[in-house]
Amino acid sequence: MKNSEKPIQNKTAKSNKDKIVAPAKDAATELRKLFLDSLQDIYWAENALVSALPKMAANASSAGLSSIILEHLAVTENQVARLDQVFELIGEKTQGKKCEAMAGLLKEGDNVLLETTPGAIRDAGIIAASQKIEHYEIASYGTLCAFAKTLGENDAAKLLTQTLAEEKEADCLLNDIALNIVNITAAE
């Protein structure tokens, strides 16, 4: 073998070992525990959103956008009640656990308000922040539905599927007002 044909050492194997994360002492060891942790996470997220939506609506200049946000506030309050039912159905205490993702998304939404002037530009920013939240919720509820079905929690899965559909609907409404009104006005 020539010097230029030396075998390449596999540095990836060593570096991947360095990236392995040791689990926390209370880490989920089964799918049911992961399902419960995820429910607690989204429960906190939905309650935080109930607190944040009125501020978003108050800062929207478009009456249509404000109306969509306030309508979704009522939907979100129903989703919190539905999550209470899910906890009951699976025989667990209703309890939230801080959702770092939602906390970050809500902080980003607050920053949009600080970094934009009132009017169409701020409305476009509110929609962008709101859609990020909706996409997070869609991903979360999609996963929760799959977990519930796998665990045989079919009644819980039905409730979670209903919420998933509502989150997708909210995303569509936000997209429609962005494309047909707000973004056009913001571009002018």
Residue 3 is assigned to a structural domain of this protein: no
pLDDT, tens digit, for every residue of 72-115? 999 999 999 999 999 999 999 999 999 999 999 999 999 999 99
pLDDT, tens digit, for every residue of 128-168? 999 999 999 999 999 999 999 999 999 999 999 999 999 99
Residue 1 is assigned to a structural domain of this protein: no
| CATH number, domain with residue 82 | 1.20.1260.10
> What's the confidence (pLDDT) of residue 29?
81
Give me the half-sphere count of Cα atoms (radius 13 Å) on the Cβ side of residue 8.
4
User: Which pLDDT band holds residue 8 (cuts at 50, 70, 90)?
Assistant: low
Look at the alpha carbons of 77, 170, 40, 54 in this order and tell me if their dihedral is positive or negative. negative
Residue 15 is assigned to a structural domain of this protein: no
> What's the confidence (pLDDT) of residue 23?
77
- Contact partners, residue 7, CB within 8 Å, separation at least 6: none
pLDDT, tens digit, for every residue of 27-59? 668 999 999 999 999 999 999 999 999 999 999
- Contact partners, residue 28, CB within 8 Å, separation at least 6: 34, 37
Residue 121 is assigned to a structural domain of this protein: yes
Residue 59 is assigned to a structural domain of this protein: yes
How many domains, the chain?
1
Q: What is the domain range of residue 68?
A: 30-187
pLDDT, tens digit, for every residue of 110-128? 999 999 999 999 999 999 9
Residue 11 is assigned to a structural domain of this protein: no
Residue 16 is assigned to a structural domain of this protein: no
The full DSSP string for 112-178 is HHHHS-TTHHHHHHHHHHHHHHHHHHHHHHHHHHHHHHHTT-HHHHHHHHHHHHHHHHHHHHHHHHI
> What's the confidence (pLDDT) of residue 21?
85
Residue 177 is assigned to a structural domain of this protein: yes
